[in-house]
Amino acid sequence: MKRIVFSITIAILVAGCEGTGFRKIEGANEKATIQSAQEALQQIELALGRYKETNRTYPRVTEAGLYDSLKNYFIIPIDPNHVYRNETDQSNFIAVGGRKNKIIYRYPATLGSGEYTLYWIGLNGLDEEGRGDDIFPSRGKLPKQLSRKLITNFRGDSLKTEFALSATGSDMTKDSVKFQIRVGSALTYFDWWSLNSYVAGRPELSEAERQEMINTEFDRFLHPVHFIPADSLMKDRKSFRFAQRIGDGTLRELAGKNLRVFTYYAGSKGPRAIFWNPRERRINVVSLSD
């Protein structure tokens, strides 16, 4: 009997709140949708940067073909719920919150001073050309998921190796960067350094500039330029002086198996190089600091 009375009471309260309290609930949902749109815009910007590094230009498409142009360049994959099929040309486009809530892309730029135009048309589903509730990417903020991953054939065998870089949080005074290498579920290499080491000694930077610098360092960490073929190290020792620290015999063995050496910056610990040692069956690390 008490349960029935309680249910009736709740029903009366809900009816009484109609048209007042429910607006707050809608506002919370809108905020979540806007956050999702901002995250998607950041992911697209990162992919656009990688696309340009490879092709020396941004994709010359509209938003109708943007997803298909960038699908191999996303560091953090776009949520499949944000990808829709174009009915006319069978390509895919990105929208957040529904088919009509598209993300607009133009290259060359039609709005703003950047090289391209990128914005979400907002909850009303109307492209107001950057006005109204249209939303552009936010600058200088650490993404909610500050992490990068890469699957590669680092060992020269049939087992794929996962390189993963992540931050323990966004507080530069106490959080760290973690670098892990896994083969399947096995952790084969681990390193860490302070998140603040990327901006140490730069008191002139604003908070937004510090965050942007960290974003940039994460973006470039797993760039292909850091995976150096062992035979290149043998042929051009002047450009890669650290090759002497690896040793001729090891380099010849790596070159014979077409293996690569990965170089990275470990914050205050300085630059390092790692490679898979086939004889020892483990990853070796070489410090590149003098």
pLDDT (tens digit, 9 = 90+) per residue, 57-97? 999 999 999 999 999 998 878 889 999 998 877 889 999 99
Cα separation, 248 vs 108, in Å, equals 49
Q: Where are the domains of the chain?
A: 2-120, 147-287
Q: How far is CA 37 from the centre of its chain?
A: 15
Q: Please state whether the predicted TM-score (pTM) of the whole model is above 0.85.
A: no
Tokens encoding 183: 């083969």
Q: Are 60 and 107 in contact (CB under 8 A)?
A: yes
Given a cut of 50, the residues of the chain with pLDDT beneath it are 1-27
**Per-residue pLDDT tens over the stretch 161-196:** 999 998 888 778 888 999 999 998 899 999 999 999
pLDDT at 143: 52
pLDDT at 22: 32
pLDDT at 87: 80
